[in-house]
Amino acid sequence: MPRQAVKHAIKHAIRLAANRTNNDEERRRLKRARALLEMFEEDRGRRAANVEELREWMGMQLTDQLQMRMNRRLHGIDAGVAG
């Protein structure tokens, strides 16, 4: 394989790896966002009207408990966090 073709193949592989990483990170963010919205709905019995309302609700939660709920919803685990 000519040297230029090897360089091109390496650059292409790096771009693909970066895209895959970005896509994985984006998928994780979307899953977490969906889980937060679902938890809000469970607690309030309705959807959040806006992002500010969701933020306020999150601010009223105990961080450890919110994290445990998130872990259970996303992974089915408690991650060893005491409640």
The parent domain of residue 28 ranges over 3-75
Write out pLDDT tens, residues 14-42. 777 777 777 888 888 888 888 899 999 99
CB within 8 A of 32, min separation 6: which ones? 70, 74
What is the structure's pLDDT at 69? 92
Instruction: Give which of 51, 83, 52 is closest to 67, Cα–Cα.
Output: 83
36 inside domain: yes
Number of domains in the chain: 1
* Amino acid 25: pLDDT: 82
Share of the chain above pLDDT 70, in %: 86
Radius of gyration of the chain (CA): 20
Q: How many Cβ atoms sit within 10 Å of the Cβ of residue 69?
A: 19
Flag whether the pTM goes above 0.75: no
In a domain, 83, yes or no: no
DSSP 51: H
